[in-house]
Amino acid sequence: MVELETKQQSDDALVARFRRGDVDAFGELYERHRGGLYGYALSLCYEPARAADAVQELWLGFLENVEKLADVANVKAYLYRSLRNRVLDEFRKRQREKKALTGSSPLVLVRPRDTVASREEADRLNSALQRLSDEQREVILLRMYGMKFGEIADVLQAATKTVESRHRLALEKLREWLRTEES
């Protein structure tokens, strides 16, 4: 089988190349997922430094365990699930050590563009996203990072139909809330 040398190469093929010693394959995999992983971590912990640390720890763990990834069916889902587990483990650890995290600054899930209108729209959307349940917000955010329902189900360890239902309900709520705010 001839492997493609384009950006369209699958994550599995990149991992296989990296396991054979091709460090460029790791670079490509890293570039493909770094932005989405960081955004997802930020949406879970709300702190840029902690999000960056979690993503860095994820990649270090990936490098240490790359030989064990031969049996992983979906590398993207594996990365997001591992990141989610790292962030949640850190959160639980901090809860045990101290009181639970408190959001002293507003949660920013959607970054505005440079225009005033975009900033207002981003603020409205962030406000609406905060009103969703954690489960619904997480599904919406993972869809925003380009994941398919099956991949989200793998990350959240939930049934695909459950993920689809959460997505549909979340969109209905967001539409309703955003329409109400426009009126």
Cβ-based burial of 14 (10 A; exposed 0-12, middle 13-18, buried ≥19): buried
Fold of 106-183: Arc Repressor Mutant, subunit A (1.10.10)
Alpha-carbon distance of 28 to 24, in angstroms, equals 6
Residue spans per domain, the chain: 1-102, 106-183
Which pLDDT belongs to residue 149? 95
Yes or no: say if 155 and 80 are a contact pair by the CB < 8 Å rule.
yes
The CATH architecture to which 1-102 belongs is Orthogonal Bundle (1.10)
Looking at residue 108, what is its pLDDT? 56
The whole-number pLDDT of residue 118 equals 75
What pLDDT sits at residue 7?
46
Can you give the pLDDT at residue 179? 85
Tens-level pLDDT at each residue, the chain (183 residues): 444 444 458 888 998 899 899 999 999 999 999 999 999 999 888 889 999 999 999 999 999 988 887 778 889 999 999 999 999 888 877 776 554 334 444 555 555 554 545 777 878 888 888 889 888 999 998 998 889 999 999 999 899 999 999 999 999 999 898 888 766
